[in-house]
Amino acid sequence: MGDISAPLNSPTRADSYKEGGSYAVLVEHGTRSLLINASAGFQTGAFINRKIETVFLGIGQLGKQNQNYMNSYWHEIIETTGAKKVIAIHWDNFAKPLDQPLEAIPMLFDDIDKSMQFLAERSRKNGIEINFPQAWQVFDPFAFK
């Protein structure tokens, strides 16, 4: 978190890069809607009175959060919107080339097993379909199993 307040000079440490804030993108077309929440962050109440069919859910570093945070994240992004399908994004190792199958981010940066267990339990409990597509895999975000 935080902002970059002055120009960075290369080379610089990775922790010198600050995020500065995240955005969610809501796409509505006719009766269809999908939300792209690329970060595992949220703003409480941001989606009240929004009905969203499919959510592209960023889960990068979700496994490093405590259970209360994870529950609140799921509630605010999935339960509040009434989403029926979740497509997990931002979980892969960004150092790997995209012409090879995606691999989970290394344990040093995230606990992907904890995230996967959480998502499996919550999606099963709420009757929500969850997907982990591979790079370049074509799919219909509104097609349900």
- Per-domain residue ranges of the chain: 22-131
- In this predicted structure, what is the pLDDT of residue 98? 87
Total Cβ atoms within 10 A of residue 111? 18
Q: How far apart are CA 128 and CA 50, in angstroms?
A: 17
Whether the model pTM is above 0.95: no
* pLDDT of res. 19: 73
Closest listed residue to residue 62, CA positions, set 12, 21, 117: 117
The pLDDT score that the predictor gives to residue 14 is 79
Q: Are 86 and 126 in contact (CB under 8 A)?
A: no
Cβ atoms of 51 and 26 within 8 Å: the answer is no
One digit per residue, the tens of pLDDT, for the chain of length 145 reads 678 888 888 888 878 877 777 789 999 999 999 999 998 889 999 999 999 999 999 998 899 999 999 999 999 999 999 999 999 998 888 888 888 888 888 887 889 999 999 999 999 999 999 998 888 889 899 988 7
Tell me how long the chain is: 145
- Contact yes or no for 91/115 (Cβ under 8 A): yes
Encoded tokens for 56: 């592209």
Instruction: Give me the pLDDT at residue 117, please.
Output: 95
